[in-house]
Amino acid sequence: MIHQRLRIVLWALVGLAALGGILIVLQRPSASTNEAAMATIGGPFTLTGTDGKPFASSRLNGKPAAIFFGFTNCPDVCPTTLARLVKLRKQLGQGDDALSIVFVTVDPERDGPAEVGSYAGLFNAPVIGLTGSTADIERVKKQFGVFSQKVDQPDGSYSVDHTASVFLMDRNGTFVATLSPEEVDAVALAKIRRLLA
Amino acid sequence: MIRFPAILALLLLASCGQQGSSEIRPSKAWARPTIGQAPGAVYLTIENKGGGDDRLTGAATDNAAMAMIHQNEVVNGVARMRMAGEINIPAHDRIEMRPGGTHIMLQGLRAPLKAGDDFDLVLRFRNSKDQTVNVTVLKPEGQ
């Protein structure tokens, strides 16, 4: 009889412990979901530089970077965004070395190292152009939570819908903030200044 | 004797206003440089000084296979570029095409656009006659 009671009590304790464990596991993610989401943007990657050689993201370390995903057949948003970043960097007045501007194509089919290179060269200022295999690009898009989708054009070519935001990374390659096209320059400048501080 | 033609002219002008004809003035047309086969985008201002509404219905240039009126929009953080159809230019009003919004996309450029180049672009309207505007290729920084 005593044994049986003891067994029941012990099993009850096991049950309570299990329940407690489940509760802890259930509560933990809800408390830190935001931080987790922020921390998961970015991360190390290797793509292809405009010289056709591998480009490891560690080469960006040491100074902050503004990373933009676009494509070279993009006549409006992409050159507008890159020209804006070049302009903002000039307004900081700390030289081209203060901030890396990185252009990653989401259209690797059409944008090889040469295309990305001449596109990045359009802005009369240093812009790092990156491409890669379709698998490479898909992986990096996933790391940054970037969306892109081909849209057929009437002449048989295609355009690409894509995430318009710029990702601001600190000098250790950690994601800090995004710049959106709607944001006024003053806000954008303040965000970049904080990165340089 | 001199007054009579003047009054006639005024009456004529007044009747024009009543009929609501548009008076289109395109200006400040510019584009950024392009590379390879990539399309270009032309931005311009179109002023309607007349009393009647008008619509920009199309554009053409000898410099590109196709010129299309495009509208860019950012929806949920995603930039989408679509054909814009026709653009309203109300009476006594103006439209200003700016980067990141409406533009005339040039597909199949005969040669990449280089800073300092210029070329003619013909604009077609619902009510007014065709208008030709000269497009200047600016430095990539644009305006």
Local structure of residue B123 (DSSP, 8 states) = E
Strongest mean pLDDT among A2-6, A105-109, A151-155:
A105-109
Confidence grade of residue A197 (pLDDT, cut at 50, 70, 90)? confident
For the residues B50-70, what does the mean pLDDT come to? 95
C-alpha to C-alpha distance for B85 and B104, rounded to whole angstroms: 11
| Structure ipTM | 0.79
Asked if A93 and A99 count as a contact pair (C-beta separation under 8 A), the reply is no
**Interval A29-51: pLDDT, tens:** 444 445 555 668 999 999 999 99
> Which of B32, B68, B75 to probe the A interface (max A CBs under 10 A)?
B32
Contacts of residue B109, defined as CB under 8 A and 6 or more positions apart, other chains included, come to: B34, B37, B39, B40, B63, B64
CA angle A119, A63, A44 (to 5 degrees): 75
Q: For chain A, where are the alpha helices, taking DSSP H only?
A: 2-39, 77-92, 113-120, 134-144, 185-196
Residue type, A99: L
Residue B6: inside a domain: no
Nearest by CB to residue A122, choosing from B33, B65, B83, is B33
Domain around B116: 22-137
Is the pLDDT assigned to residue A63 strictly greater than 90? yes
- For residue B12, being part of any structural domain is answered with no
Q: Do B74 and A80 touch (CB under 8 A)?
A: no
| CB of A162 less than 8 A from some CB of B | yes
> Closest Cα of chain A to B74: distance in Å?
7
- Chain A residues with CB-CB distance to B32 below 8 A: 75, 79, 83, 122
For chain A, the straight-line distance linking the first and the last C-alpha, in angstroms and rounded, comes to 73
Average pLDDT, chain B: 88
Predicted pLDDT at A35: 52
Kindly determine whether residue A122 and residue B140, on different chains, have CB atoms separated by under 8 Å.
Answer: yes
**Is B1 part of any domain?**
no
Give the global pTM: 0.80
A133 residue type, one letter:
S
The count of domains in chain B is 1
Q: What CATH number corresponds to the domain at position B130?
A: 2.60.40.1890
Q: How far is A87 from chain B (nearest CA, A)?
A: 7
Q: Which residue in B33, B100, B107 is closest to A76 by CB distance?
A: B100
pLDDT tens-place string over residues B12-51: 555 444 457 889 999 999 999 999 989 999 999 999 999 9
Contact B74, A182 (CB under 8 A): yes
Q: Provide the Cα torsion A38, A44, A48, A50; round to 10°.
A: 70
